Amino acid sequence: MNKIREIALGIVTSIGGFLDVGAIATAAEAGSSFEFQLIWTIVLGTICVIALVEMSGRLAAVSKHTLADAVRERLGFNFFIFPLIAEVIVDFLVLGAEIGGVCIALQLVTGISFQWWALPVAFAIWLLLWKGNFSLIENGISFLGLITLAFVVATFKLRPALPAVAEGLLPTVPQQDTAHYLFIAVSILGALISPYLFYFYSSGAVEDKWDKSHLGVNRAVAGLGMGFGSVVSLGVLIVAAQVLHPRGIHVDSYEQAALMLTQPFGYWGFVLFAASLGIACFGAALEVSLDTAYILAQAFGWNWGESLHPKEAARFSFVYTVFVFLASLLMVVGIDPLQLTLFSMALTAVILPLTIIPFLVLMNDRSYVGDHCNGWISNSITIFTIVLTFVLAIVAIPLEVLGG
Amino acid sequence: MKKALLASLLLVLAGCSPSSSHDKLVKTLKTVQSWTATARMVGETWQQGSIPDLYAQQTLEKIQQEIAKETKDLTGSPALPRQIYQLQQTLQQMTAAVKQHRKAEIATPLVQLATEQQQLETLLKAQGDRP
Amino acid sequence: MDVIRDVLDNQIVDRNQRKMGKVDGIVVELLEGQPPRLAYLETGVTTLAHRVHPRCARWVAAIASKWGAKHTEPFRIAWSKVRNIGIDVEVDLDAEQTPTLAYEVWLREYVIKHIPGGS
C-alpha cells in the first residue's frame, strides 16, 4: 500500500515538474503555427525522457550516487567540468525564463508589468527553498500543478478531429516555413529533454533514500509520470491548434497564448491559463534552483540536501540563494520572457550530448548498477538519443538565427 | 565528416534565408496578419466578458506597437502604408472602447477589423502568386 | 584496486559520515628501487584546478586568497587514515577539525547565520 502511495506521489510530482515554461511556450507555438504537425516531436521527446529519467532513478537507487556524483567519479573531473559549466549556464538562463513565466502569469491577471514581479517572485522561491524541506516542495507544488490538467479537459471539450491528430504522429516537414518548423521542433526537444530533470531526479531519489526495492516505483514514476506530463503538453498543443490556429494567430508572445482557454472555458479559461503557467513555472523554478545547487555541491563534494537546515549545508544554500536573485535580474532588466525561453531551449539542445553520453558508460558499469545494467532496449534508446541530440546540437543555433 | 556538416548547413541556409525584399514583405504581412487576428480575438473575448479589461487594453496597445515596429521600413506594394494606417486607426478605436469600458462601442471597429483582415489576406495571396 | 577509478574523484566522508570534499588528487611517493607508494589523498579546489590546467590553479588560488575563509592550501590525508573504500572513501578524521570545511564554516558564520531563519 505504501508503494502505491509512493508511486502516486511520484506521478503527481512528474506532472507538476514536467510541464514548465519551455514545454508550454513551445507547445503553444507549435499548435498555433503548425496545427497538429509537431505532435510527433512531443511523443519522441517523451520517449527519450522516460528512458533517461528511469536510468537516473535506477542509478541513484542501486549505487546511492546521484548522476553528478557518478559522472565525476567515473569519468573524471576533466570530463565533468564541461557538462558542469554548460549546465550551470543553461540553468541560469532557464531559471530566468521560469521566473519570467511566473511574472507573466501575474502580469496577465493584474496588469502590472512582469519586471516589477521579478524580485518578489525570486524572494518567494528563495523563501520556500530556505524554509521548506524536500517533501514539502515536491508534493506541495505538484498537487497545485494538477491545475494544468485544465488543458487536457479543454482538449476533450474542443473535440479535435482524430484523424488529423493521428497524422501529427508521423514526422513530416512542411514546404513552407521550413526553418521555423524545424526550429520549433528543436526547441520542443530541448524543452522536454532537459538535463536538469535528470540531475534533479537522481538527487531526489537520494534525498528520499531510495534503494533497490524502489526500482519498480522508479519505473512507474518515470513511465507514467513523464507520460502524464507529456499528455498535458499535447493538450496545450492541441488547444492552441484548435483555438488559435484557425483564427490565424501565431503565438509570438505569452499574451497571445493566454487566449487559448477562453474558447472552452470563458473567463475561467483566462484565469486557468495564468494559474497553470504561474504554478508550473514556479515549481520548475524551484527545481532548477535546487538543481544548480545540487550539481555544484555534488561536483565538489560539499554537504548537500534540501531537507537539511541551511546552516548544515552552508555552501549549498548559499549557491541557490545567489543564483535565484541573479537569475531574476534577467527579468528585472526587461528581457522578453518568451525570447529567453526559446533561446535557452535551443542552448539546452546544444549541450545535451555531453549530458547523455555518460549514461551509456554508467548504466553498463556493474560497479554502479550491479545486476541492473541496461538491457538492449535501454541501450538502444540511449544511443539513439545521443545521435539525435548530436544532430540537434549542430542545427540548433543556425535554426535559432534563421527560424527564431 | 566536416564537409558533410558544412554542406548540410549551407543547404539549410540556402533554402531558408529570406533574402529578397519580396520575401521580407511576405514575412511582414504574415506577422501583421497574426497580430491583427490576435486583436480580433481580444476584441471578441473582451466583448463576451472573458478577459479582464486591463489585459485587453495592454494587449491591444502592444499589438499596435508590434505592428508599427514591423511595418516601419515598408516598401513594395503601394497600397500597403494606407492599409496599415487604417488598421492602426481601427485598433486605436478598439483600445479607446476598452479604456472607457464601453462594450457596445467595440462592435463597429470589430467589423471594420474583419474587413481589414480580409484585405490583408487578399494582399498576401497576391504576393504569393508572384514568382 | 584501481586507484584512479575507485579513489580519485570519489567522495570523502569522515568518521561521522559527514561529507568533506572529494579526492581531488593523489600524492604518490617514488622511492628508488621500490614500487610507487600511495602516500596521501589530496582535497582542495586548487588541486582540482591544477588538473584542468596549471594556470587555472593560479587563478583559483588568487581568488580564494582574497575571499571568504582565504584558504588556498589543499588538505592532505595520509593513506593510513583511510578506513574503507566503497561508494565513498571513509577516513578516520573529524571533518570539522580539518580545513576542508573552511569555506563551509566561514559561510555559515558570516552569511547564513545573519539571514533570518539561518540559525
Q: Comparing C-alpha atoms, which of A157, A180, A149, A163 is closest to residue A275? A: A149
C117 touches chain A (CB under 8 A): yes
User: Cα distance from C85 to chain A (closest Cα, Å)?
Assistant: 13
Contacts of A296 in chain C (CB under 8 A): none
Q: What pLDDT is attached to residue B4? A: 64
Using an 8 Å CB-CB cutoff, list chain A residues near B33: 248
**Are residues A225 and A16 in contact, defined by beta-carbon separation less than 8 angstroms?**
no
Find, in chain A, the residue whose alpha carbon is nearest to that of B23: A177
Contact C30, C36 (CB under 8 A): yes
d(CA C18, CA C95): 7
Q: Are A97 and A21 in contact (CB under 8 A)?
A: yes
Which of B15, B31, B50 has its CB closest to that of A269? B50
- Rounded to the nearest 5 percent, the helix, strand and coil shares of chain A are 80, 0, 20
- Check residue A9 and give its pLDDT: 66
Beta carbons within 8 Å of C15's beta carbon, 6+ residues apart: C83, C90, C91, C92, C93, C94
Name the more confident of C115 and B67: B67
Lookup: cell for C83: 578506513
* Nearest in space to A65 (alpha carbons), one of C43, C103, C9, C98: C9
Inform me whether the pLDDT recorded for B16 exceeds 70: no
Taking contacts as CB-CB distances below 8 angstroms, the residues of chain A near C2 are none
Chain A neighbors of B55, CB-CB under 8 A: 108-109, 111, 255, 258, 270
For residue range C10-41, list pLDDT tens digits in order: 899 998 888 888 999 888 888 888 888 888 88
Q: Which residues of A271-299 are buried (b: 16+ CB within 10 A; e: fewer)?
A: bbbbbbbbbbbbbbbbbbbbbbbbbbbbb
Q: Does C56 touch chain A (CB under 8 A)?
A: no
Determine whether the interchain pair A110/B62 forms a contact, defined as Cβ–Cβ distance below 8 Å: no
Whose CA is closest to A243, among B38, B113, C112? B38
Average pLDDT value for chain B: 84
All residue ranges of chain A with pLDDT < 50 are none
Contact B50 A266 (CB under 8 A): yes
Q: Is the pLDDT of residue B15 over 60?
A: no
Which among B3, B34, B60, B69 is the top mutation candidate for probing chain A, defined by the most A β-carbons within 10 Å of its own β-carbon?
A: B34
**CB-CB neighbours of A224 under 10 Å:** 17
Name the CATH superfamily for A2-403: Amino acid/polyamine transporter I (1.20.1740.10)
Nearest to C19 among A78, A303, A310 (CB): A303
Do A270 and A105 form a contact (C-beta atoms < 8 A)? no
Q: Which three cell numbers stand for residue B10?
A: 549551407
Q: Is A338 on the interface with B (CB under 8 A)?
A: no
Q: Which of A27, A1, A10, A282 is nearest to A147 (CA)?
A: A282
Side by side, which strands form the sheet with C82-85? C19-22, C11-13, C89-91, C82-85
Helix A150-158 / helix A267-300 crossing angle, nearest 10 deg:
140
Strands (E) in chain B, as ranges, are none
The closest of A30, A359, A5, A367 to C7, measured between CA atoms, is: A367
| Residue of chain C nearest A305, judged by CA positions | C19
What pLDDT score was predicted for residue A173?
86
Question: What are the cell numbers at A400?
Answer: 535559432
Q: Which domains does chain B have, with CATH numbers?
A: 20-129 (1.20.120)
Phi/psi for A309 (5° steps) reads -70, 145
A116 interfacial to chain B (CB closer than 8 Å) = no
Q: What is the mean pLDDT of residues B13-20?
A: 56
Q: Out of B9, B34, B50, name the one closest to residue A249 (CB).
A: B34
pLDDT at A101: 95
Tell if the CB–CB gap between B49 and A267 is shorter than 8 Å.
yes
Q: What is the mean pLDDT of residues C70-96?
A: 86
B6 vs C89, higher pLDDT: C89
Q: In chain A, which among 156-215 make CB contacts under 8 A with chain B? A: 178-179
C21: left (phi over 0), alpha (psi -120 to 50) or beta: left
Quick one: pLDDT at residue B75? 61
* Residue of A167, A171, A166, A198 lying closest to A182 (CA atoms): A171
Question: Which of A77, A301, A310 has its CB closest to that of C19?
Answer: A301
How confident is the model at residue A257, as a pLDDT? 95
Strand ranges across the sheet with C37-43: C25-29, C37-43, C75-78
User: Please, what is the average pLDDT of chain A?
Assistant: 90
Q: Would you say A312 and C101 are in contact if contact means Cβ atoms under 8 Å apart?
A: no
Tell me how close the Cα of A246 comes to any Cα of chain B, in angstroms.
Answer: 10
What pLDDT band is residue B111 in, cutting at 50, 70 and 90? Answer: very high
| Nearest residue, CB atoms, B50 vs list A256, A267, A399 | A267
For A176, the grid coordinates are 513552407
Domains (range + CATH), chain C: 3-114 (2.30.30.240)
Helices vs. strands in chain A: H and E counts, helices first: 21, 0
pLDDT score of C110: 83
The answer to whether the CB atoms of C104 and A81 lie below 8 A apart is no
Gap between the Cα atoms of A291 and A269, Å rounded? 32
**Could you tell me which chains touch chain A, where touching means 3 or more CB pairs under 8 A?**
B, C
Size of interface A-B (CB pairs under 8 A): 70
Give the CA-trace dihedral at A323, A204, A51, A301, to 10 degrees. 70
Interface residues on A facing C, Cβ-Cβ cutoff 8 A = 63-65, 69, 72-74, 76-78, 81, 130-131, 300-304, 310-311, 314-315, 317-318, 321
Q: What is the pLDDT of residue C1?
A: 62
Q: What is the largest CA-CA distance in chain C?
A: 61
Which position has the grid cell 505504501? A2
Residues of B in contact with A249 (CB under 8 A): 34, 37-38, 41
Query: Taking CB atoms and an 8 Å limit, are B41 and A111 in contact across chains?
Result: no
Measure A256 CA to nearest chain B CA, in Å: 7
Does B8 have pLDDT greater than 70?
Answer: no
Cα separation, C66 vs C46, in Å, equals 14
Q: In angstroms, rounded to a whole number, what is the distance separating the alpha carbons of residues A16 and A228?
A: 10
The pLDDT > 70 percentage for chain B reads: 80
C82 neighbors C41 (Cβ within 8 angstroms)? yes
φ/ψ (deg, to 5) at A61: -70, -40
- Closest CA–CA distance from residue A84 to any residue of chain B (Å): 27
C26 touches chain A (CB under 8 A): no
Show Cβ contacts of residue B81 under 8 Å, excluding neighbours closer than 6 positions. B71, B74
Are A111 and B54 contacting, i.e. CB atoms less than 8 angstroms apart?
yes
In this predicted structure, the answer to whether residue B59 has a pLDDT above a threshold of 60 is yes
A86-95, B38-47, B107-116, C107-116: which range is least confident on average? C107-116
The torsion defined by the Cα of B50, B54, B56 and B57, in degrees rounded to 10, comes to 160
Say whether A77 and C24 touch across the interface (CB within 8 A). yes
Q: Do C111 and A318 make contact, defined as CB atoms within 8 angstroms?
A: yes
Task: Measure the CA–CA gap between B97 and B107, rounded to whole angstroms.
Answer: 9
DSSP A331-344: HHTT--HHHHHHHH
Min Cα–Cα distance to chain C from A79, Å: 9
Give the separation between CA C117 and CA C119, rounded to whole angstroms: 6
pLDDT in tens, B63-96: 999 999 988 877 656 677 888 889 999 999 999 9
Chains B and A touch (3+ CB pairs under 8 A): yes
Please give the pLDDT value at position A364: 92
User: Does residue B127 sit at the A interface (CB-CB below 8 Å)?
Assistant: no
* Domain range summary for chain A, segments of one domain joined by +: 2-403
DSSP assigned state of A221: I
